[in-house]
Chains A and B, each alone.
Chain A
Amino acid sequence: MAMNENTAQTFQPIAARKAPTATEGPIAWIRINLFGDWTTALMTLLVGAVLLWILPQVLSWAVFRAAWAPDYEACRVDGVGACWGVVAEKYRIIVLGRYPFEEQWRPVVATSLLLFMLVGSCTRAFWKLWVLPAWAVALVIYFTLMYGNLLGLEKVETDRWGGLPLTILLASLSMMLAFPIAMVVALGRRSNLPAIRTVCTVYVELVRGVPLISVLFMASFMFPLFMPVGFSIDVLVRVIIGITLFAAAYMAEVIRGGLQAIPKGQIEAAATLGLSYWQTQRKIVLPQALAMVVPSIMNNFISLFKDTSLVTIVSLYELTGALSLALNSDANWRPFKIEGYIFIALIYFIFCFSMSRYSIWVEKQANKGRAR
């Protein structure tokens, strides 16, 4: 009986309440992030006003009023903005340095190969054992192409190498050579043997305490005084040795930080398993430590890449030096130095920014278990 009464009733919904304020969508994002409360809104207005004042002027100078053709007369016309013609005109000297004009395909090919190997080594596909011989072959091809004197290629002395290829060569070669040295020094610094610990500590503190300029100056000009009479080394080799020793000290500190973060329990467990010192390091400690410090090592690499700009003081014309070379001897284009600077700043930015995004990706991969 009660049920019969109930079945006669239809469902009467109550009046709908107003929908809650949206939290998704672009309008909501703007409201929350730009006008969340009155201080935020004030900041948005202030910063927005400043930006609206500056940005049109910058854009007008850099894009709308700019001269793009390689014609310096057009650039000197009144009211013209940036003169990107200087890039169009001089980009070959800026990017490739003093390398002989007809042979400039060689550094382009060689550097592309090196970049391919470098970028590839960053992806998972390359983290196999065949990578090491592949690198050896790639390096041999690289130096053959750059130096020549074989297979009918004309010989090009190392002091003609310049521009972006030289920057990439210096940075990557020094890093690769510095890595084993840094590992040994880092392990040595944590060793129980006082003599080895002292030697490694002295080396690291000495090298980290001086600016790269003095290391470069010493490497390139004092080096011949340190060698027996008649023994002469190429300038490029001297500079690479200097930069390698410099980079190794910084990397040793980074690796030492990683070693310090390994809990003592790991080493004690390895000892109970009967592993020797070197076995422990090779199988237990170093794999964990190195995985932890890859982002810091990438940071070191980025700094090294930027620091290669200092080799200009020893007359090796990498990217920054090649710009001075290109513009200083040519009075027609010299007033537009700032555009040249912006151009190579852009090149450095692209390289360094990509590397830093990569290091963030690696960090995320390594810390997948700890993300919150």
Chain B
Amino acid sequence: MSNTSSPKKTAWSWRSQAFRGIIYQLLAIGAVVLAIWFLASNTMHNMQVRGIQSGFDFLGDPAGFDIGESLYPFDSSSPYWNAFLVGVLNTLRVAILGIILTTLIGTLIGVGRFSRNALVRGLCYGYVELFRNVPILLQLLMWYLLLTDALPFVTEALQVGHIFLAKGGLAFPKPIWEIGHLFGALGLVAGAILGVAYRRWGYRKFEQTGQLRSMFWVPVGIFVVAGVLGWAAAGAPADFDFPAKGDFSIEGGGALTPEFLAVLLGLTLYTAAFVAEVVRSGIQSVAHGQNEAAAALGLNPGHVMRLVTLPQALRVIIPPLTNQYLNLTKNSSLAVAIGYPDVVSIANTSLNQTGRAVEAIAIVMLVYLTTSLATSLFMNWYNARSAIKER
């Protein structure tokens, strides 16, 4: 047989899909680059004409303003970047606490939608519908109004032991920071790692020998003991700054201000309604047959929910749940309307003091973008790991 090689592929065709693909991409990139060039050149031109200064060098200048509440003492002579850091910490403070609380409340209410008690079902349904359908800004404003009106004046402050409740918020004894607390925190971290390791070891032993060990109390015990050991090893500091009733306000101690409480309450209750819906749809997505099979095996409804339904529902729940966490973090930017010094509020003040509007907004967007991208990456990884593999 003659050695006929397959005909050589002809040269590039103008109408092939690959060629058109390249053209489309070039057009798309070109359009985007053009747009960015247009905007950037206009901005620089405008700023030059109007004599607006630009640049991030202002971050090293002293801030010149005080911040109402911060995790660590902030002085007005600290630089701007320190002020932004305080803002970021304030945002994280309310976001992390909010996420924990909203998960708890939202899960309870979501599971409560399946309760056998019609009153509980109805109340959960009413809660979800009520809090979902009113804008978050409105809810924050209402909570702040209620808190500032309802909290008593200093002269009639409520007092339980060393804890006061007055117009200035909830005042509690604050531990005076010593190196011992740092060791205690490190001990807690070590305890957490040891606890997780213990659980791993316990599961392995269970699979090998069938002997069940305590999977909850022992790790928790390890966690707490490690923390206490760390604290004790560095001198066991136990000094507190106790709040006292002054003439016009509660002085001393730490305080949860009404601004913080209003933001926390508003964000938590609002997002909990959405988390409840997410949990509910997750539970509903588990095939009915699973519940029926578990009932056939004799498990009581509590066990069915905890051991069969929820673990399977988690795959469906986690991605929208992370979305809700992101929403909570972004909604915390509304705290600026009620006086809580989060990063948007600090950026606003800096913007007005220095006039560097573009830079300040860029920093705010950068902070939120970092948080969102980190969460998105985690979600994509989890999605890919747990997705049902299709061809």
* A21 contacts chain B at the CB level, 8 A cutoff: no
* A264 contacts chain B at the CB level, 8 A cutoff: yes
A214–B135 CB distance below 8 A? no
* B234 contacts chain A at the CB level, 8 A cutoff: no
- CB contacts under 8 Å to B, within A176-210, are 192-196, 199, 205-206, 208-210
A206 touching B364 in the complex, CB below 8 Å, given contacts A211-B330, A349-B134:
no
* B25 contacts chain A at the CB level, 8 A cutoff: yes
**Residues on B with beta carbons closer than 8 Å to the beta carbon of A353:** 129, 133
* A284 contacts chain B at the CB level, 8 A cutoff: no
- Report the separation of the CA atoms of residues A349 and B142 in the bound assembly, to the nearest whole angstrom: 15
A352–B390 CB distance below 8 A? no
- CB contacts under 8 Å to A, within B85-142, are 115-120, 123, 129-130, 132-138, 141-142
* B182 contacts chain A at the CB level, 8 A cutoff: no
**Residues on B with beta carbons closer than 8 Å to the beta carbon of A36:** 116-117
B24–A196 CB distance below 8 A? yes
**Residues on A with beta carbons closer than 8 Å to the beta carbon of B119:** 34, 43-44, 47-48, 51
Interface 9-residue window, one of B45-53, B173-181, B209-217? B45-53
B116–A214 CB distance below 8 A? no
A222–B138 CB distance below 8 A? no
A338 touching B138 in the complex, CB below 8 Å, given contacts A44-B117, A199-B32, A310-B334:
no
The smallest beta-carbon distance between A245 and chain B, in angstroms, is 13
* B358 contacts chain A at the CB level, 8 A cutoff: yes
Chain B contact-residue range equals 35 or more
- Report the separation of the CA atoms of residues A48 and B45 in the bound assembly, to the nearest whole angstrom: 68
* A22 contacts chain B at the CB level, 8 A cutoff: no
B142–A345 CB distance below 8 A? yes
B358–A356 CB distance below 8 A? no
- Report the separation of the CA atoms of residues A339 and B114 in the bound assembly, to the nearest whole angstrom: 34
The smallest beta-carbon distance between A117 and chain B, in angstroms, is 23
B136–A306 CB distance below 8 A? yes
A208 touching B372 in the complex, CB below 8 Å, given contacts A196-B28, A226-B43:
yes
* B146 contacts chain A at the CB level, 8 A cutoff: yes
- Report the separation of the CA atoms of residues A294 and B21 in the bound assembly, to the nearest whole angstrom: 31
B369–A225 CB distance below 8 A? no
**Residues on B with beta carbons closer than 8 Å to the beta carbon of A29:** 118
A199–B45 CB distance below 8 A? no
- If over half of A's interface residues share one DSSP class (helix, strand or loop), that class is named, otherwise mixed; here it is helix
- Report the separation of the CA atoms of residues A213 and B136 in the bound assembly, to the nearest whole angstrom: 13
* B8 contacts chain A at the CB level, 8 A cutoff: no
**Residues on A with beta carbons closer than 8 Å to the beta carbon of B391:** 264
A341–B32 CB distance below 8 A? no
The smallest beta-carbon distance between B358 and chain A, in angstroms, is 7
A345–B145 CB distance below 8 A? no
**Residues on A with beta carbons closer than 8 Å to the beta carbon of B344:** 211, 213-214
A229 touching B32 in the complex, CB below 8 Å, given contacts A222-B361, A341-B145, A352-B133:
no
The smallest beta-carbon distance between A311 and chain B, in angstroms, is 10
B358–A225 CB distance below 8 A? yes
B130–A211 CB distance below 8 A? no
- Report the separation of the CA atoms of residues A312 and B365 in the bound assembly, to the nearest whole angstrom: 20
* B78 contacts chain A at the CB level, 8 A cutoff: no
The smallest beta-carbon distance between B296 and chain A, in angstroms, is 18
A211 touching B135 in the complex, CB below 8 Å, given contacts A43-B119, A195-B29, A196-B28:
no
* B333 contacts chain A at the CB level, 8 A cutoff: yes
- CB contacts under 8 Å to B, within A109-138, are none
* A92 contacts chain B at the CB level, 8 A cutoff: no
* A227 contacts chain B at the CB level, 8 A cutoff: yes
**Residues on A with beta carbons closer than 8 Å to the beta carbon of B118:** 29, 33-34
The smallest beta-carbon distance between B372 and chain A, in angstroms, is 3
Set A48, A210, A224, A309: member contacting B330, Cβ < 8 A: A210
* B1 contacts chain A at the CB level, 8 A cutoff: no
* B242 contacts chain A at the CB level, 8 A cutoff: no
* B376 contacts chain A at the CB level, 8 A cutoff: yes
Kindly report which residue of chain A lies nearest to residue B351, judged by CB atoms.
Answer: A217
- Report the separation of the CA atoms of residues A255 and B32 in the bound assembly, to the nearest whole angstrom: 23
A352–B132 CB distance below 8 A? yes
A320 touching B137 in the complex, CB below 8 Å, given contacts A43-B120, A211-B333:
yes
A211–B331 CB distance below 8 A? yes
- CB contacts under 8 Å to B, within A236-263, are 263
A213–B24 CB distance below 8 A? no
B116–A338 CB distance below 8 A? no
**Residues on A with beta carbons closer than 8 Å to the beta carbon of B24:** 193, 196
Set A194, A217, A341, A372: member contacting B142, Cβ < 8 A: A341
- Report the separation of the CA atoms of residues A319 and B317 in the bound assembly, to the nearest whole angstrom: 34
**Residues on B with beta carbons closer than 8 Å to the beta carbon of A229:** 45-46, 49
- CB contacts under 8 Å to B, within A13-67, are 29, 33-34, 36-37, 40, 43-44, 47-48, 51
A222 touching B129 in the complex, CB below 8 Å, given contacts A195-B28, A213-B344, A227-B42:
no
Most chain A CB within 10 A, of B28, B32, B357, is at: B28
* B307 contacts chain A at the CB level, 8 A cutoff: no
B138–A226 CB distance below 8 A? no
- Report the separation of the CA atoms of residues A351 and B290 in the bound assembly, to the nearest whole angstrom: 38
* B389 contacts chain A at the CB level, 8 A cutoff: no
The smallest beta-carbon distance between B98 and chain A, in angstroms, is 14
Per-residue CB contact flags for chain B residues 46-80 toward chain A (1 = under 8 Å, else 0) read 11010000000000000000000000000000000
B117–A40 CB distance below 8 A? yes
* B373 contacts chain A at the CB level, 8 A cutoff: yes
- Report the separation of the CA atoms of residues A296 and B134 in the bound assembly, to the nearest whole angstrom: 18
A338 touching B145 in the complex, CB below 8 Å, given contacts A36-B116, A209-B368, A209-B373:
yes
A341–B138 CB distance below 8 A? yes
On B, residues with C-beta under 8 Å from A are 21, 24-26, 28-29, 32, 39, 42-43, 45-47, 49, 115-120, 123, 129-130, 132-138, 141-142, 145-146, 149, 288, 330-331, 333-334, 336-337, 344, 357-358, 361, 364-365, 368-369, 371-373, 376, 390-391
Beyond the given pairs A47-B120, A320-B141, 12 more chain A to chain B contacts, judged by CB atoms under 8 angstroms and listed by A's residue number, are A34-B118, A44-B117, A47-B123, A195-B25, A209-B368, A210-B368, A211-B368, A228-B45, A263-B390, A312-B137, A353-B129, A353-B133
10 A–B contacts from the bound complex (CB under 8 Å): A34-B117, A43-B115, A47-B123, A195-B25, A196-B25, A199-B28, A228-B45, A229-B45, A306-B134, A341-B142
Q: Which 4 A-B pairs have the closest CB atoms?
A: A209-B372, A352-B133, A33-B118, A195-B25
